[in-house]
A and B are shown apart, each in its own frame.
Chain A
Amino acid sequence: MEKGVFSIYMAGVGGQGLVLLSNVIGSACAKAGIRALTGEQHGLSQRSGSINVHMRIGQNIRSPLIPIGGADVLLSLEALEALRYVEYLQQGGVVLMNSRIQHPIAETALHVKDKSATYFSVDEVRNRLSQVTDKIAIIDALALGRDAGNPMTENIIMLGALSVIEAFPVPEKSIRESIAENVPKKAVDANLKAFEQGKGHAYEHLCNVIKCRK
């Protein structure tokens, strides 16, 4: 719809490192001489609530917000949050979704009253999203993060997967440099490893769903 723009709608739950993720990508863009903008949420929304970051990459963009139906990629650090923002995804756009679910307290409170209720599941999210796109990649980022030596690296695992997408306009080298500069010093190794884990996992399992870089 908009030429020369690559839009990533990022979603998650407060505390998952979404703003860090968008900062890593943004700084990588600055290094590569590419223009990038984000619309972020700070403050009240962090308290275990639903959060989102709009990220737009391209030379001529002005608005940090992605229009409805405008996201090339919907990247979600939590499965329910992918569905919550489905209106931003382009028809046929890519969903990169962490398989982790953090059950909202409102849902748990209902289950105390209704003994037969079951939680909203990853499969349910996938089924519903599949009405909008067939490019849905589900990643167990928590498990991959643990393998990388730090379960807090879910965000960078997802970045690794994002980086293999053919249309993603940011060079890998800039991203690696940006990770090294932007994550806490003692976590640099784990994060660089997490980036590789995410990338490797995507190449191995997701290139049948998403169009990958060579």
Chain B
Amino acid sequence: MFLGVNDVPRDEPGRVFVLCNEAIVRAAIEADVKVVSAYPGSPTTEILDTFSSVAPKFDYRMEISVNEKVALETCAGASMAGLRSMTSMKSVGLNVASDAFYSLSYTGVIGGMVIVVADDPTAHSSQSEQDGRYFAMSSYIPMIEPSDPQEAMSMVKSAFELSERHGVPVIIRTTTRVSHQSGMADFGKIERKSFAKLAWDHHPGRFVTVAETARTFKLALLERTRKMEEEFDKSPLNIIKETGSDFGIITSGAGYNYAVDACSILGLTPSILKLGTTYPIPRKLIAGFLKRLKTVVIVEELSPYLELHVESIAREANPTIAIHGKRNGIFSEAFEYNTNIVVDGIATTFGVQKTINYSAILDKAKELKNGLPNRYPTFCPGCPHRASLYALRQALKGVKHVVATDIGCYSLSILEPVNYGDTLLCMGACIGVASGIQYAVNEKVVAIIGDSTFYHAGIPGLINAVHHGDDFTLIILDNEVTAMTGQQPNPGSDVGAGGRPSKPMILENVIGGLGLEDITIVDPYDLKNAVVAMKDALTRKGPNVIISRRACALHSDRQKRRKGEVIRSNEVAKEICKKPYTCIRNFDCPAISINDNDRKAEISEELCDRCDVCAKICPFASIHLREVE
């Protein structure tokens, strides 16, 4: 949990140091949001976490949803009826939700509806660097972009009002460096109306989009968009800092932060247009800004979205203006920016002398780091995935096989030094991909998915495989929670948002209900039996399922600590250890290392979680419970 959580529900207004995602929640609460539904995904997860942890204090209805599409639909339904709602999702989450999203632009809503979408430049924790701004443009749904927690607060409130004024959901678009930025924000008063159900306003067809109604809706939404553009041309969400310079910058979101700091480092004072509304694009406002300039630099991450708009506006407004950005190679379309990248870009544009040579520093750093070992994220000590994958690899020893994996902590198996896994596309894809691979090759095909991802997007794939008799084995790693994003409850949990009781799905019943009878359940901590049972199942014709069931170590540690249990650790009996390194090969636990002097394995008291699986692997039985003084 994050600390601002202590502040988010507080009654008194005032200035706090808060994570942007928490500021978004506070703003929604101040704006009297009534229905919240979301599926976790970095960098938006803390929105869901914060809503969930403060839920008992407020009366909004909240679901930690099965996936982003259902979450968006839940909010859509509530806002069609007239309540304010909010959903949040990462960039690729909107892909999942997009079917409902596009239609919702046609039907519109009555109660204010805000969709927070966070892109992840540099793909810190995503499968791609997808630029979500094109969703707004292609769906005609308006989009607002804050650059810090304070702006996020005021923009979320504006978004609810805008949504109700125009009867359309509004996107708050952030990027990782906005979502995961902590800074100062002024909390306002909390004045909420108590929750009351509304009467459905019966106008048959009001929210039905198909054929004839779709054509009517389309014309109406074009008109709505035109009106919003007019409004945005004068909106206080767009800020111009006019300095009289003939050099200007157009930017938004995180790019604005880097542009301001870069100019201060370079001692430049350009005029700056900071766009808060990035769809519809306020074309008149931009045209007016361009007219006074000789040169404009566009500072935006990912695609040249603003830049292409500026180019088209400049054709009429100022045809001779020089436009610098991605299209002339000043900036890259790959990876997130930072201040020094923007300093370099602006300095190149104007031939300004820099006081600091970044590439020389980077070269020197590269030399100093020669031989420094990589430290990629991996399974935590005690993680059942480590044991499951170890057992799977034992069971498949000597068997040529292909592994289609999926999105979750277990994706980390593809990183050094584990290096296990052949394909990964998106949530739930391993099952469909496995269906395809089994047609194409002779090797044994294995698909690996977590319980949360299976509920999210895996079930249709499995129905398809059962229906067609596709020959592969699906391994479901059932750790009770959505672990990767911070151990949120999922449909298998008996509690939901705010600790409210919920009905847990029984995974094997769900699968059995599809008519798939070959289900093997193992406990990965019971390593020997798990290997035997897996081996057996893997030799049978598919589709069949192996459920490897054991709670996420972080999740169960938290529960143990709450109960006052002490988590103990193992140690290596050095006099017995014969250095076979079986506890390291293909196991790769961060708690186990090799002593530089005697070359024997040793276990870190601080890191060990005592899953005891390493003790079961050791052929000399040299690993045992650490004796405490």
Contacts and interface: CB of A to CB of B under 8 A. Distances in A.
Interface of A: 1-2, 13-15, 19-20, 22-23, 26-27, 29-30, 35-50, 60-70, 80-81, 83-84, 86-87, 102-112, 115, 118-120, 128-129, 131-132, 142, 151, 181-182
Contact of B484 (A43, A81, A109): A43
A147 to B, nearest CB: 15
Contacts of B182: 22-23, 26, 36-38, 40, 64
Interface of B: 2-4, 6, 15-17, 19, 42-43, 45-46, 124-125, 147-148, 177, 180-184, 256-258, 260-261, 264-265, 338-340, 343, 355-356, 358, 361-362, 364-365, 368-369, 371-381, 409, 412, 416-417, 484-486, 581, 584-585, 588-590, 592-594, 596, 599, 604, 606-607
Contact of B3 (A47, A84, A119, A182): A182
A44 B368 contact: no
Given A23-B17, A102-B590, A44 B42 contact: yes
Contact of B377 (A14, A39, A63): A14
Contacts of A115: 599
A195 B385 CA distance: 37
Given A47-B380, A48-B590, 17 more contacts: A2-B265, A23-B182, A35-B183, A37-B148, A37-B182, A42-B43, A43-B486, A47-B412, A48-B378, A68-B358, A86-B369, A102-B604, A106-B373, A110-B373, A120-B372, A128-B368, A182-B3
Nearest to A5: B261
Interface centre among A40, A44, A61, A62 (most CB of B within 10 A): A62
B153 to A, nearest CB: 15
Contacts of B261: 2, 61-63, 67
A118 B356 CA distance: 37
B368 A60 contact: no
Contacts of B594: 108, 111-112
Contacts of B593: 103, 108, 119
Given A45-B124, A182-B6, A40 B180 contact: yes
Contacts of A39: 177, 180-181
Nearest to B343: A67
A39 B412 CA distance: 24
Contact of B375 (A1, A23, A26, A104): A104
A14 B417 CA distance: 18
Nearest to B123: A44
A37 B622 CA distance: 49
A65 B177 contact: yes
A87 B361 contact: yes
A44 B182 CA distance: 18
A64 B148 CA distance: 9
Contact of B125 (A45, A68, A131, A132): A45
Contact of B17 (A13, A30, A41, A68): A30
24 contacts: A15-B380, A26-B183, A37-B148, A40-B180, A41-B124, A42-B43, A48-B380, A62-B258, A63-B257, A64-B182, A64-B257, A67-B356, A83-B372, A87-B364, A105-B378, A105-B588, A106-B373, A106-B376, A109-B416, A109-B584, A112-B581, A115-B599, A128-B368, A128-B369
B509 to A, nearest CB: 31
B184 A47 contact: no
Nearest to A27: B17
B32 to A, nearest CB: 26
B183 A64 contact: yes
Given A67-B265, A68-B362, A119-B593, A80 B585 contact: no
Contacts of B368: 83, 86, 128-129, 131-132
B596 A80 contact: no
B342 to A, nearest CB: 9
Contact of B372 (A47, A62, A80, A105): A80
Given A30-B17, A47-B380, A109 B417 contact: yes
A111 B588 CA distance: 12
A35 B177 contact: no
Closest 3 CB pairs between A and B? A49-B377, A43-B42, A87-B365
A127 B356 CA distance: 24
A47 B379 contact: yes
Contacts of B256: 62
A43 B45 contact: yes
A41 B125 CA distance: 10
Contacts of B181: 37-40, 64
A17 to B, nearest CB: 11
Contacts of A15: 380
A70 B358 CA distance: 10
Contacts of B260: 62-63
A1 B355 contact: yes
A140 B484 CA distance: 31
Contact of B369 (A20, A38, A47, A84): A84
B491 to A, nearest CB: 21
B340 A83 contact: no
B604 A41 contact: no
A47 B566 CA distance: 22
Contacts of A38: 181-183
Interface centre among B42, B340, B379 (most CB of A within 10 A): B340
Contacts of B374: 104, 106
B557 to A, nearest CB: 11
A50 B456 CA distance: 29
A15 B609 CA distance: 13
B378 to A, nearest CB: 5
Contact of A67 (B6, B148, B340, B375): B340
B613 to A, nearest CB: 15
Nearest to A40: B180
Interface centre among A27, A41, A67, A129 (most CB of B within 10 A): A67
Contact of A44 (B15, B343, B484): B484
Nearest to B360: A69
Contacts of B377: 14, 44-49
B241 to A, nearest CB: 12
Contact of A112 (B125, B376, B585): B585
